[in-house]
Amino acid sequence: MNRNVFITSVLLAFFACFPVLFSNPYWIGVLNDIWLYAILGLSLNWVVGHTGLFNLGHAAYYAVGAYTAAIISTHFNIPILWLIPVAGFTAGLFALVVARPIIHLRGDYLAIVTIGVGEIVRIALENDIFGITGGSNGIFGIPRPEIFDMRIRRPWQFYYLIGGFLLITIWFFYRLEQSRFGRALNYIKEDETAAEGSGINTAWYKLAAFVIGAVWAGMAGTLFAAKMSTVSPGSFVFWESVLIFAIVILGGAGSIPGVILGAFLLVGLPEFFRNFADARMLFFGAAMVLMMIFRSRGLLPPLTRKYAGVSRAGGGDA
């Protein structure tokens, strides 16, 4: 464990100093994207990795959060960072309404329905639903965020803003993993029937997990809207959901370091291959297939699984 603490501290120190050491705004921008996708990945990890629900429409909740923040901040001139909880609440409420009737569906059915929900949300945004989403152009001119009278507009400023939120995210999901709630979810994922049998209200837990993931995605949406100062339906297409899903699965579903590594690989690595821009997605697809064949639990799978393996194989020697 001590080694892990050491590695974590070194990494933290390195990334805390990164903008000072390397003032190249391009690479800071890339890291900002990585942080944002790490936050999204961790939020989906709570649904896919911990609860075993195939959500292939996570971008929908991200979109609801981003649009909520964008609409309120442009119409009522409210500083966008204050809207983080509001956007989280809206996305969570939306997830609650959508997921309540469908949460009992079996894995694949749930996957296709969540894809459907994601597409419906995107089409609704494109069709300027309620006349407030701006159609296919989206919403632009979102005021820049401010912290203590400092206007956030440079990449390094966003670096600390989004990076700070990522740290909160890591802390939150780490605590949640350790909680009674987190343990119940793992139990449901391992064996739903046994969990139900031992008195766990599985439907309630699954719904709660789904909503928590959506709330967090909605909050990440606010950061996205603040960073881009514009939102449009093109940012919330199905492939966005697939990318977030792939970050979770390839990094290691259920593992916080795994998901962060996944964000680095899937968002950061392609930047090194800019010259092959057209073929990038080809490699991306092939990598997904190969990973599943050779390392299906991801690059950094969670450690706790070992315990389950021991008790299953050993029978009574726990």
Partner 1 sequence: MEFFLQQLFNGLAVGGIYALVALGYTMVYGVMKLMNFAHGELFTMGAFLGLSFLGIFAFTESLGPFGGVLVLILLVMAMVALMGVLLERVAYRPLRSSPRLSAIVSALGASIFLQNAIMLIYGARFQVYPHGILPNIPLSFFGVEIPLLRVLLLLVSLVMMAGLYFFVQKTQIGTAIRAAAIDQDAARLMGINVDRVIQIVFIIGPALGAAAGVMVGIYYGQINFTMGWIFGLKAFTAAIIGGIGNIPGAMLGGLLLGVLEAMGAAYISTAWKDAIAFAVLILILLVRPRGILGERVADKL
Smallest separation, CB 40 to partner 1 (Å): 17
User: Does residue 253 touch partner 1 according to CB under 8 A?
Assistant: yes
Options 20-28, 75-83, 164-172, 276-284: segment touching partner 1 (CB under 8 A): 276-284
- Could you tell me which of 77, 230, 226 has the C-alpha nearest to residue 139? 230
Indicate which single residue of 35, 46, 54, 173 sits in contact with partner 1 (rule: CB under 8 A): 54
Smallest separation, CB 56 to partner 1 (Å): 8
Residues between 114 and 143 with contacts to partner 1, criterion CB under 8 A: 115-117, 119-120, 123-124, 126-127
Contacts of 221 (CB under 8 A, 6+ apart): 61, 62, 63, 64, 65, 66, 67, 68, 69, 87, 91
Nearer to partner 1 among residue 207 and residue 253 (C-beta) = 253
Smallest separation, CB 36 to partner 1 (Å): 21
User: Does residue 281 touch partner 1 according to CB under 8 A?
Assistant: yes
DSSP E strand boundaries for 57-204? 139-140, 146-147, 150-151
Indicate which single residue of 78, 93, 102, 170 sits in contact with partner 1 (rule: CB under 8 A): 102
DSSP 268: I
DSSP per-residue codes, 39-76: HHHHHHHHHHHHH------THHHHHHHHHHHHHHHHHH
- φ, ψ for residue 134 (rounded to 5)? 75, 15
Smallest separation, CB 52 to partner 1 (Å): 8
- Could you tell me which of 8, 32, 22, 24 has the C-alpha nearest to residue 267? 32
- The site for partner 1, by CB under 8 A, has a size of 43
User: Does residue 249 touch partner 1 according to CB under 8 A?
Assistant: yes
Give the span between the Cα atoms of 167 and 79, in whole angstroms: 22
Nearer to partner 1 among residue 49 and residue 218 (C-beta) = 49
CB 244, CB 41: distance < 8 Å? yes
Options 29-37, 99-107, 176-184, 257-265: segment touching partner 1 (CB under 8 A): 99-107
Structure tokens given for 304: 């706790």
Question: β-pairing, 150-151 with 146-147?
Answer: antiparallel
Smallest separation, CB 194 to partner 1 (Å): 10
CA atoms within 13 A on the CB side of 91: 34
User: Does residue 11 touch partner 1 according to CB under 8 A?
Assistant: no
Residues at the site binding partner 1, with contacts judged by CB under 8 A:
52, 54, 101-102, 104-109, 111-113, 115-117, 119-120, 123-124, 126-127, 193, 238, 242, 245-246, 249, 253, 278-279, 281-282, 284-289, 291-293, 296
